[in-house]
Amino acid sequence: MEINKKIIELLKRVKEKNPLVHHITNYVTVNDCANITLAIGGSPVMAEDINEVRDMVSLASSLVINIGTLNSKSVQSMLVAGKRANKLKIPVILDPVGAGATSYRTDTAKRILSEVKLAVIRGNLSEIKTLYGVDSKTKGVDSSDSISANGSELKEEKEMAKALASKFNTVVAITGAVDIITDGKTLYCVENGHKIMAKVTGTGCMCTSLIGCYLGAGDNKLLAALAGVVSMGIAGELAYEGLEKNNSGTGTLKVKILDAIYNLSKTEIIERSNINEE
């Protein structure tokens, strides 16, 4: 079956199954993560207290761990919930927000990676480099590095993604101008989205939540990661095209990204998805 068709099938299953996606996430973009989960057809629940994360994750179809505003309590809950999810075979996705910016973030992301079996890791290039052990210039939670669309650098980045995925038996998704999604063997390059998306906080976090929804609806983690990245990219394009050129800006863009995910159609996926398999 063609890859587009598989994404469309999985999207349909999200809407049928309405997977409960347990988030332990940051307080900056949490509302957008909840809303994009609802928009695509999932059911979000945010719970991070140590007194309830074991119970809550047991009810969930997937677990999203996002370290955007980590603290010593939430990190403990992430580890406990992650291990419990592993025991129950509930897929876990990690968003290592800002790994590389401070040693606390780097150490925490690496600790989660080593103690919790992850189905997917989604980050920008700096964050993934940091997890891989390469020094990377990180500027706060933004990537200073960006995936170049061609040349030898792109080749290196693909190799790194594959190596990281193979080492941890996971799927690695690096998002940027070009997105790379790989399980260590198959690798997809995606060229969807628009650069203005970087001017709205949480487009990365929202992408992670979408992957969480797809993970909760199927059992192919590579496809789930690809579907999440492609969905977010197409939504960004549609949102950008929906701006009236004179007055609209990034406030409207965020609203329209949620609208686009809510309305995401078979036709849009077929006509817009720009996926290359390697």
Q: Measured from the CB of residue 248, what is the shortest distance to a copy of itself in angstroms?
A: 5
User: Tokens for 172?
Assistant: 């690695």
Measure the CA–CA gap between 117 and 90, rounded to whole angstroms. 10
Using CB under 8 A, pick the residue from 121, 260, 269, 275 that binds a copy of itself: 260
| Site for a copy of itself, residues 37 to 56, rule: CB under 8 A | 38-39, 43-49, 51-52, 55-56
Q: Measured from the CB of residue 177, what is the shortest distance to a copy of itself in angstroms?
A: 17
Q: Does 29 interact with a copy of itself (rule: CB under 8 A)? A: yes
Tell me which stretch binds a copy of itself (CB under 8 A): 83-91, 184-192, 221-229, 240-248. Answer: 240-248
Using CB under 8 A, pick the residue from 134, 153, 242, 272 that binds a copy of itself: 242
Q: Measured from the CB of residue 51, what is the shortest distance to a copy of itself in angstroms?
A: 4
Contacts of 209 (CB under 8 A, 6+ apart): 21, 23, 33, 36, 37, 42, 44, 64
Place of tokens 């050129």: 245
Query: Length of the chain, please?
Result: 278
For residues 105 and 158, which CB has a smaller minimum distance to a copy of itself in the complex? 105
Question: What is residue 121's three-state secondary structure?
Answer: strand
Tell me which stretch binds a copy of itself (CB under 8 A): 81-89, 145-153, 194-202, 212-220. Answer: 194-202
Could you give the string, one character per residue 99-138, with x where binding to a copy of itself holds by CB under 8 A and - elsewhere?
Answer: --xxxxx---------------------------------
Measure the CA–CA gap between 20 and 29, rounded to whole angstroms. 18
Measure the CA–CA gap between 92 and 54, rounded to whole angstroms. 14
For residues 235 and 275, which CB has a smaller minimum distance to a copy of itself in the complex? 235
Contacts of 53 (CB under 8 A, 6+ apart): 22, 24, 47, 77, 80, 81, 84
Interface with a copy of itself: number of residues (CB under 8 A): 64
